Amino acid sequence: DISFTYADPQAAGGETHQVAGGDIPTLTTQQGIPVADDQNSLKQGARGPTLLEDFHFREKMFHFDHERIPERVVHARGYGAHGYFELTDSLSDVTRADVFQRVGERTPAFVRFSTVAGSKGSVDLARDVRGFAVKLYTQEGNWDLVGNNIPVFFIQDAIKFPDLIHAAKPEPDRAFPQAQTAHDNFWDFVSLTPEAFHMIMWTMSDRALPRSFRTMEGFGVHTFRLVDAKGKSTFVKFHWKPKQGLQSVVWNEAVKINGADPDFHRRDLWDAINAGDFPEWDLGVQLFDDAFADSFDFDVLDATKLIPEELVPIRVVGRLVLDRVVDNFFAETEQVAFCTQNVPPGIDFSNDPLLQGRNFSYLDTQIKRLGGPNFTHIPINAPKCPMHHFQQDGHMAMHNPKGRVNYEPNSWGATQGGPREDPARGFISFAEEADGPKQRVRSETFADHYSQARQFFVSQVQIEQKHISDALVFELSKVERPDIRSRTVSHLLHIDPGLAATVADGLGISLPDGAVAARQPITDLPASDPLS
Ligand code: HEM
């Protein structure tokens, strides 16, 4: 019975006042001043002007005016949850990383899933790549594995990322279409960027329409390094394998779901965790050495290529469990900041030119998005291990160094001098040899753009292949310029002539002379495809 908390509505001019008392706390301003009336601004007379003096009104309104922060420049729409990572197989043979030493130990985790191209208010089931960003609060600092649900990427060099994203987002004059892939700019860029076609095969496949965040794989994409205590490095690719299995919806379902429930994926995750049905993934690693890297048909530094699991099997080393929803979406999911450069001792980068560029980009954008250089003071971003440094000041500084000393070296002694370097525990970069002229160049080992695209396409069962060709026909049918459509189909000829023939047919365009479909067109499936 809350009726006793209501003041007499008549006495207060008709509006509802709910008053403090008993266990109900007193409403205050941000300065802690108790508030007597939160329904009426301060006026000169009952019908007079509102007074500038009303500090409660001004504080409340000013704070509201500043509620929005910029959305992420990509991956704006996302949903996060807390959990833990548990090590099941020690990697102490290949890395000194603390998180990989002791079997059975649990490391707190926060995960944010996302779409890439849509704005913060866009629909969950867009045809798009999904982000799969994991923050592990290890005892030697935060490790962010900022991955996707597709193991390869559109481009090989970070300098192309602004172009890719400009082309994928709504066109700048008309601000539509919001559907990422279905427009001239996107396909214009892609058709002029052959390296994108492996990823295009994945984004036109069922992988781009996951049934749930819980039924997606995650991939670190790049080749990273694990480094042991002696400084020896082993290359590694990271994989998250869902225990729930891999599931997608078909386009027909996606379109309906987006209309009926644009929050389909976030609702699904929220409901599952609150019902105690905690989603879980295995962490797998593909480990390989220089000899394998040298013998591999492709360059392990090329993010448009994967390493087939038949060549390097996956070793499962742990599990990730999500068991707690957030208390507050903005404080946690919106303010969380993942960054590829956040790696603890024992994990290191490769020279992948996409990864190198990402390492620069994330911190830069977060300094803007989160209002300055102190966003690690926000609880969701703060490490859960001891942390001492001499960085200070800036907007919203919460943890300035204590005492007189804010520099080193200093001679203030052990008790007053503050933190010191630690050559034994500290991060030491892998001592990779580097030589050669300074030049803007793409290695020739990055040149084969179609073999793995073909491998992916032929690995799909017939109905999955049909979904790919249907998706290409649908997306390209939204492209107005015929030359962009033809140029795209000409790339498909290098991947699979049957696919090219089917898509050309669906678009009503003829293939170039001499391009004979080597395989039966995919449309020769039974008419009663129950899934489409
Ligand atoms: C988010 C840049 C490639 C996965 C972002 C953000 C930027 C960015 C600026 C927004 C970060 C923020 O505001 O907090 C880039 C650049 C790339 C690149 C420059 C290539 C040169 C990739 C790749 C992956 C990826 C290859 C996957 C392996 C993600 C994810 C997020 C993200 C998952 C969302 C993180 C979150 O949930 O907060 N990226 N990105 N990005 N990126 Fe990338």
In the prediction, which pLDDT does 178 show?
87
pLDDT tens for 11-37 read 556 788 999 999 999 999 999 999 999
| Mean pLDDT of all residues in 278-301 | 98
Q: Is the pLDDT of residue 40 over 60?
A: yes
Return the closest-CA partner of residue 121 out of 4, 305, 266.
Answer: 266
Band of pLDDT at residue 529, cut at 50, 70 and 90: very low
Q: Which of 194-198, 271-275, 442-446, 527-531 has the lowest mean pLDDT?
A: 527-531
Mean pLDDT of the residues in the chain? 94
Question: How many Å apart are CA 9 and CA 7, to the nearest integer?
Answer: 6
Helix, strand and coil percent figures for the chain, each rounded to 5: 30, 15, 55
Q: Please say whether the beta carbons of 304 and 152 come within 8 A.
A: yes
Return the closest-CA partner of residue 449 out of 129, 153, 182, 116.
Answer: 153
In the prediction, which pLDDT does 169 show?
96
E strands, 140-279, are 141-148, 218-219, 224-227, 233-242
Name the β-bridge partners of 445.
none
- Whether omega for the bond prior to residue 162 falls within 30 degrees of 0, making it cis, is no
Catalytic residue among 148, 149, 342, 374: 148
pLDDT tens for 207-255 read 999 999 999 999 999 999 999 999 999 999 999 999 999 999 999 999 9
Question: How many Å apart are CA 159 and CA 161, to the nearest integer?
Answer: 6
User: How much distance in Å is there from the Cα of 73 to the middle of ligand 1?
Assistant: 9
**Is 75 part of the annotated catalytic residue set?**
yes
Question: How many Å apart are CA 507 and CA 518, to the nearest integer?
Answer: 19
In the prediction, which pLDDT does 294 show?
97
Catalytic residue among 75, 183, 198, 265: 75
Q: Is the pLDDT of residue 518 over 80?
A: no
**Position 504: which residue type?**
A
Q: Is 292 exposed, middle or buried (0-12, 13-18, 19+ CB in 10 A)?
A: middle
Q: Is the pLDDT of residue 466 over 80?
A: yes
In the prediction, which pLDDT does 512 show?
66
- Dump the DSSP string for 345-409: TTEEE---HHHHHHHHHHHHHHHHHTTSTTGGGSTTTS-SS--------STT---PPPSS--SSS
pLDDT tens for 416-446 read 999 999 999 999 999 999 999 999 999 999 9
Element (DSSP H or E) covering residue 288: strand 280-288
Give yes or no for residue 354 CB within 6 A of ligand 1: yes
Band of pLDDT at residue 517, cut at 50, 70 and 90: very low
In the prediction, which pLDDT does 79 show?
98
- Taken as a whole, the chain contains a residue count of 532
Atom of ligand 1 nearest to the CA of 220: 28
Q: Is the pLDDT of residue 388 over 90?
A: yes
In the prediction, which pLDDT does 1 show?
40
pLDDT tens for 113-161 read 999 999 999 999 999 999 999 999 999 999 999 999 999 999 999 999 9
In the prediction, which pLDDT does 410 show?
97
User: How much distance in Å is there from the Cα of 131 to the middle of ligand 1?
Assistant: 8
Atom of ligand 1 nearest to the CA of 73: 10
Main-chain dihedrals φ then ψ at residue 138, nearest 5 degrees? -80, 170
In the prediction, which pLDDT does 511 show?
85
pLDDT tens for 482-504 read 999 999 999 999 999 999 999 99
Element (DSSP H or E) covering residue 459: helix 451-459
User: How much distance in Å is there from the Cα of 149 to the middle of ligand 1?
Assistant: 13
Q: Please say whether the beta carbons of 492 and 500 come within 8 A.
A: yes
In the prediction, which pLDDT does 449 show?
98
| Mean pLDDT of all residues in 89-112 | 98
| Number of Cα atoms under 13 Å in the Cβ half of residue 289 | 3
pTM: 0.94
In the prediction, which pLDDT does 519 show?
47
**Is 377 part of the annotated catalytic residue set?**
no
User: Do the annotations mark residue 72 as ligand-binding?
Assistant: yes
| Number of Cα atoms under 13 Å in the Cβ half of residue 392 | 9
Question: How many Å apart are CA 500 and CA 494, to the nearest integer?
Answer: 9
| Mean pLDDT of all residues in 80-93 | 98
